[in-house]
Each structure stands twice: as structure tokens, then as C-alpha cells.
Amino acid sequence: MQQKPTDEDVMVAKQAAMEIVMLTMMRPLAGNPRFWADIEAIADAFQKASPDEIAAFPQRWEATRGFLQQWRQALGGAPGQV
């Protein structure tokens, strides 16, 4: 017998669904190398502008960069720094 999803299960499922929809919408852009260069530039700017937040929660920033790399690979973009 399957148990009822918890609130956490529902939240994670919604986030996963939103990620899939977002990646689908991004697919036409992913073939353009400039798209990934822009993402890299924005991520770098965020990192420079938010040193205290990143220092306080480095694991979150590491996970963010990891997700960007996973999305790039999922969309068929060339491996890069992101």
C-alpha cells in the first residue's frame, strides 16, 4: 500500500515539474553559445555581488553551479564552466 505524499514530497514534485517546464522552454536557446556565456556572466556577477551570502552558505552556491551544469548537459550545450 502506497503512503500519502508528505508536504515535502509535494514541494519537491512541484519543483521538479517546474524545472522540466523551464528546461523545455529554454531548449531553443541552448544551442546558442552566447546563451551559456550570458548565464556564466550573470552567475559570476551574482557571486561577486553577494559574497556574504555565498560565504554563509557555500554548499548552496556549489549546488547552484552544479544544477546549472546539469541543465547545460541536459539541454545539449557544450560542457563549460557554469
**CB-based contacts of 61-65 (< 8 A; 24+ apart in sequence):** none
C-alpha to C-alpha distance for 76 and 2, rounded to whole angstroms: 36
Residue 17, domain extent: 7-74
57 has pLDDT over 80: yes
82 has pLDDT over 60: no
Structural domains in the chain (count): 1
C-alpha to C-alpha distance for 40 and 22, rounded to whole angstroms: 18
User: Cβ distance 82 to 40 under 8 Å?
Assistant: yes
Predicted TM-score of the model (pTM)? 0.68
Q: Domain for residue 1, yes or no?
A: no
60 has pLDDT over 80: yes
Q: Domain for residue 27, yes or no?
A: yes
Q: Domain for residue 2, yes or no?
A: no
Q: Domain for residue 56, yes or no?
A: yes
